[in-house]
Amino acid sequence: MLKKYDKGDVLVVPVGDENIAVAQIVEKLRGNVLLAVFPELLGAGAAVEVDALKLDDPIFLVETMDLRIKEGTWRVMGNREISPEIPVPGYKVWVEPPGEYRRQDIQGKVGEVISSEEAATLKVQKSFSPAVVETALRGLHGLGPWRAAFDELTI
């Protein structure tokens, strides 16, 4: 049976066989989530108090598919308010015609025209597989290689 999840859910993300990281769902999207992933590494058997966790300074802010959550691999251990310190990103999208950049929100809604200068400060919306998130966490903690592509996940 597929697991349900909500915005604000705090997740356990396996990092190798003996460790876990903590992540929080910042936004629910259609089949995806915007996930704040925190840098602290905990032992897989550690007792984790959701209310005691420091959840305001993620190392990764990444859009990823929700499959690992639905299948229970990334287990929900509670729900907390999302820190106002965690920004929901805005994006740029090129619209042709007329050939201009526009602002796009996390849900994919295309908005107002923006200048080339502002567009240079924004990313194009991109989703990464859950396996990339797990591999990046292993790389961050020296349990595997760090690849240049993981830089896109960092805040």
Average pLDDT, the chain: 95
Asked if residue 118 is part of any domain, the answer here is no
Asked if residue 112 is part of any domain, the answer here is no
The pLDDT value recorded for residue 1 is: 84
The pLDDT value recorded for residue 137 is: 97
Asked if residue 137 is part of any domain, the answer here is yes
Task: Tell me the pTM.
Answer: 0.93
The pLDDT value recorded for residue 5 is: 97
pLDDT at 44 over 90: no
- Decide: helix, strand or coil at residue 50: helix
CA distances from 119 to 35, 58, 59, 71, 92 (A): 23, 24, 24, 37, 6
Asked if residue 100 is part of any domain, the answer here is no
Which helix (DSSP H) or strand (DSSP E) does residue 15 occupy? Answer: strand 9-15
Asked if residue 42 is part of any domain, the answer here is yes
What distance in Å separates the CA atoms of residue 28 and residue 12, rounded to the nearest whole number? 17
Q: What is the arithmetic mean of pLDDT over 24-38?
A: 96
Encode pLDDT of 121-150 as tens digits: 999 999 999 999 999 999 999 999 999 999
Concatenating the DSSP letter of every residue in 117-136 gives HHHTTSBPP--B-HHHHHHH
Cis status of the peptide bond prior to 98, with omega within 30 of 0: yes
Encode pLDDT of 67-103 as tens digits: 999 999 999 999 999 999 999 999 999 999 989 999 9
What share of residues in the chain are helix, strand, coil (percent, to 5)? 20, 35, 45
**Structural domain range at position 31:** 9-86+126-153
Asked if residue 20 is part of any domain, the answer here is yes
Domain count, the chain: 1
Residue pair 44/55 in contact by the 8 Å Cβ criterion: no
Asked if residue 80 is part of any domain, the answer here is yes
Asked if residue 95 is part of any domain, the answer here is no
Distance between the two ends of the chain, CA-based, in angstroms?
A: 34
